[in-house]
Structure formats: C-alpha cells, structure tokens
C-alpha cells in the first residue's frame, strides 16, 4: 500500500486530496498542528477512517517535520500547508514568510534526511505572477509577486526547483490558479459572496460588503485541482506545471451570477463597498495557460465557472438553512 504524507490536511485542498488518495487505496498521513479547539471540520468524515492517520507537527518546527517523515517514510509528500490568505500576509508578513517560504525548505530538508527517495509536491500559486508580465501565464512567465504571500510563494517555488537540481530529488511545483469549493475558507471572496448571498436570500443579512469588484481571476473547482497534484507525482520526470481553466471572470461577475443562482434580482441592491477589503497592492488580472498539464498529464477541468458559482451558492443555502434562524 502506497503511503502519502499531506501537510495542510485540515485545509480545503488537503481534505479533498485525502479523499482522493484514500479512494485510490493509499494510507494517508496528515500533519496537524496543536490548537486549543479542534479544527477538523473539513475532514470530519474521515476521522474514524483507518486510512487516515493524523501526525502532530508544525511547519515552523523542523524537528517535528523530520521526525514525522522519519516515522512514516512516505512514498509521496504533498506540501499544502501555508498561511494562504493574501490579505493577511500584509498584516503578518514575517509569519507568512516563516510558514509559506521557509516552511518549504524545512519540509524539503526533512525529506532529504528522512526519505530522499520520496516524491514531493509543492503548492505554488498564480499569485507569483502578480503584476503579470504576459497573458496568459505559462510555466515560462516571469514572476512579479504583489504581496508578502506572493513573495513567499516565489521563494517556495525556487527552493523546490533548487532541491531538485541540487540533490536529484523528485520535487515538483504545481502553479495552481484560484480553485474554490464549499470547503473554501469564508474569508476568500468566492465563499464570502456565496455565503453572503445565501444569507441575504434567507433574510439573515441585508448586504454583502466587499472590496475591489474589478479584479479578475481564473477560478476552477478544487477537487479537479487535487487530481492534477496527484498526476504530477505519477510522471517519470519531475517537472513544474500550470493548472488553470484558461478563463477568467471578475469579482463582480461572480457576485452577479451568485445573485442569479439565489434568485435575487438586483446584485447592486445587496452590494456595499468596504475599503477594509481593498489591498495595498492588487493583482488585477490572472489567467493561466494549462496546455502543458493538458498535454502531459491528461488533466482538464470538469466544472465551468457558472457551475462553480451555482454549486457554491446551493451549498451555502443548504448550510444556512441547516443553521436555522438567527
Ligand atoms: P487553506 O484552506 O488555507 O489550508 C491551509 C492549511 O495549512 C491548513 O490545513 C492549515 O492548518 C495549514 N497550516 C497553516 N500553517 C501551518 C503551520 N505552521 N504548520 C502546519 N500546518 C499549517 O489553503 P488551501 O486553499 O487548501 O491551499 C492549499 C495550499 O495551496 C496552500 O499552500 C495555498 O497557499 C496553496 N494555493 C492555494 C490556491 C487556492 O486557490 N486555494 C491556489 C494556489 C496555491 P490549520 O487548519 O491548523 O489552520
Ligand atoms: O481574493 C478581491 C481581492 O482572497 C480574490 C488564495 O487561495 O488564490 C487565493 O488568493 C480577489 C482579490 O483570493 C474581496 O482583492 C474583493 O483581487 O479570494 P481572494 P486571492 O487573493 O486571489 C491564490 C491563487 C492563492 O494562492 C491564495 O492562497 O477578490 N476581493 N472583495 C476580495 N477578496 C476577499 N478575500 N474579500 C473581499 O471582500
């Protein structure tokens, strides 16, 4: 039985990847950090599944990572843990660097010492392209990050390339564009809109406060994207890949479609601008060219933008109905 080690297993992607790998017959080990209350909401359906074992550790603690990999000796390592919220990276730039940048070196070094023959996936991001140098963005597009998060991810990307080239490790970087789902954190704009619109529909709130509506993103469906991560580690050669739908839409379009999905007539009636949600430096437009992933991995997205918006709004309506009146 193959063994996979996932950092960030309690997050959106980690939970979907655990689902996928368990379905494929893997024994999955998930790194979790100590918290005063458990935050296993996204993996609660797996908690009693013997195919998932939780291992205690933290990206900031080298010893915990080396010990964990030494004990587990995984075949595949997926490094998904990070401080992943771009807005928070201006408020906590040093912590973001510790987790999202140096954390990658800690993981790579733990692997080098404990299980150098394992295969390593690094969760790189389209935020590395930032103020884009070309449209659409490919594996060759130069980086120009626009946030401490983006800067940290550029470091994580290059240290992964460097360990591959220095130590002949099977280490790959997946440059993933935004991917969303009902398991997305509530602070990210898609889930925030889907939830806000559902709450307006059910009379629990009257407006949705947002920042920049003009920003455009290439939004896909998270379960499709974890499939791409797995495919990258099944190849003969370790290479980096862009994963994206190739289509982009504005935040405003997301809001408009979400209102339609909830049968709310007028998106402008429920929208309120709040400068709190504007960013010191914005990434205006991202759109990826995933030709290489399509060609070499046989990967393609299965959910359109309209389907994504609808499924997210429906999930929030269901959730808010279950939560009852306030
Ligand atoms: P997420 O939902 O925010 O999950 C982040 C995970 O990292 C959580 O499990 C969190 O644990 C864990 N974590 C944070 N700091 C840690 C630390 N110091 N030690 C151990 N674990 C720590 O993120 P996601 O959306 O699933 O994204 C997964 C990865 O892909 C991230 O690296 C993100 O930056 C990257 N990425 C995401 C996207 C996207 O659109 N979703 C696109 C490109 C790249 P807790 O539950 O304890 O907080
Ligand atoms: O913002 C605008 C905001 O926070 C998207 C992470 O997974 O994807 C994600 O980063 C856009 C930005 O995601 C609000 O200004 C407007 O232009 O949902 P987001 P993100 O910053 O694109 C990348 C690929 C990652 O790697 C990251 O880890 O929406 N926006 N109004 C808003 N954004 C938020 N969060 N909240 C608002 O009220």
Confidence bin at 140 (pLDDT 50/70/90)? very high
Identify the nearest ligand to the CA of 101 by its number: 1
pLDDT of 167 higher than 90 = yes
Domain that residue 30 falls in: 3-179+221-243
CB atoms under 10 Å from CB of 231, counted, come to 17
Identify the bridge partners of residue 208 per DSSP, sorted by sequence position: 271
* Phi, psi torsion values for 79, nearest 5 degrees: -95, 90
Closest CA to ligand 2's atom 3: 212
Kindly give the number of the ligand 1 atom that is closest to the alpha carbon of 222.
41
Same domain for 195 and 140, yes or no, is no
> Of 216, 173, 204, which is closest to residue 325 (Cα–Cα)?
204
Confidence bin at 326 (pLDDT 50/70/90)? confident
Taking CA 257 as the corner, what is the angle to CA 254 and CA 259, rounded to the nearest 5 degrees? 110
Same domain for 94 and 210, yes or no, is no
Same domain for 226 and 265, yes or no, is no
What pLDDT, on the 0 to 100 scale, is given for residue 204? 98
Same domain for 110 and 63, yes or no, is yes
CATH number of the domain within which 146 lies: 3.40.50.720
Same domain for 204 and 74, yes or no, is no
In a domain, 291, yes or no: no
In a domain, 104, yes or no: yes
pLDDT in tens, 225-247: 999 999 999 999 999 999 999 99
Closest CA to ligand 2's atom 31: 211
Coil, strand or helix at 273:
strand
Distance of CA 213 to the CA centre of its chain: 21
Counted residue by residue, the chain has a size of 326
Taking CA 194 as the corner, what is the angle to CA 192 and CA 197, rounded to the nearest 5 degrees? 100
**Total structural domains in the chain?**
2
Kindly give the number of the ligand 2 atom that is closest to the alpha carbon of 147.
21
C-alpha span between 326 and 183 (Å, rounded)? 22
Question: Strands 27-32 and 52-56, how do they pair?
Answer: parallel
pLDDT in tens, 257-271: 999 999 999 999 999
Same domain for 123 and 258, yes or no, is no
Same domain for 28 and 71, yes or no, is yes
In a domain, 213, yes or no: yes
C-alpha span between 226 and 208 (Å, rounded)? 30
pTM over 0.95: yes
123 lines ligand 1 (CB under 6 A): yes
Mutate to test the pocket of ligand 1, among 41, 61, 80 (most ligand atoms within 8 A of CB): 80
What pLDDT, on the 0 to 100 scale, is given for residue 1? 96
In a domain, 99, yes or no: yes
238 Rama class: left (phi>0) / alpha (psi -120 to 50) / beta: beta
């Amino acid at each position: 039985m193959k063994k996979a080690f996932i950092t960030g297993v309690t997050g959106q992607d980690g939970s979907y990847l655990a689902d996928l790998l368990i379905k494929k017959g893997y024994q999955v080990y998930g790194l979790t950090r100590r918290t005063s209350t458990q935050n296993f909401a996204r993996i609660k359906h797996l908690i009693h599944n013997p195919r998932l074992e939780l291992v205690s550790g933290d990206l900031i603690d080298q010893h915990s990572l080396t010990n964990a990999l030494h004990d587990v000796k995984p075949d595949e390592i997926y490094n998904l843990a990070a401080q992943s919220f771009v807005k928070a990276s201006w408020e906590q730039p040093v912590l973001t660097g510790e987790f999202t940048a140096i954390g990658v070196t800690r993981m790579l070094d733990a692997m080098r010492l404990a299980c150098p023959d394992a295969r390593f996936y690094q969760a790189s991001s389209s935020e590395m392209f930032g103020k884009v140098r070309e449209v659409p963005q490919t594996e060759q597009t130069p980086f120009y990050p626009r946030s401490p998060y983006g800067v940290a991810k550029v470091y994580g990307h290059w240290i992964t390339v460097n360990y591959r080239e220095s130590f002949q490790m099977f280490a790959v970087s997946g440059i993933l564009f935004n991917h969303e789902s009902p398991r997305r954190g509530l602070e990210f704009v898609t889930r925030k809109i889907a939830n806000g619109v559902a709450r307006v529909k059910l009379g629990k709130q009257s407006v949705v406060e947002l920042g920049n509506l003009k920003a455009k993103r290439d939004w896909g469906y998270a379960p499709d994207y974890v499939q791409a991560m797995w495919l990258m580690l099944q190849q003969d050669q370790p290479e980096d890949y862009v994963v994206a739908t190739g289509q982009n839409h504005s935040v405003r379009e997301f809001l408009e479609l979400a209102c339609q999905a909830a049968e709310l007539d007028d998106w402008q009636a429920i929208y309120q601008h709040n400068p709190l949600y504007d960013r010191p430096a914005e990434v205006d437009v991202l759109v990826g060219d995933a030709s290489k992933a399509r060609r070499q991995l046989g990967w393609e997205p299965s959910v359109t933008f309209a389907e994504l918006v609808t499924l997210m709004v429906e999930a929030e309506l269901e959730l808010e109905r279950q939560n009852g009146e306030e």
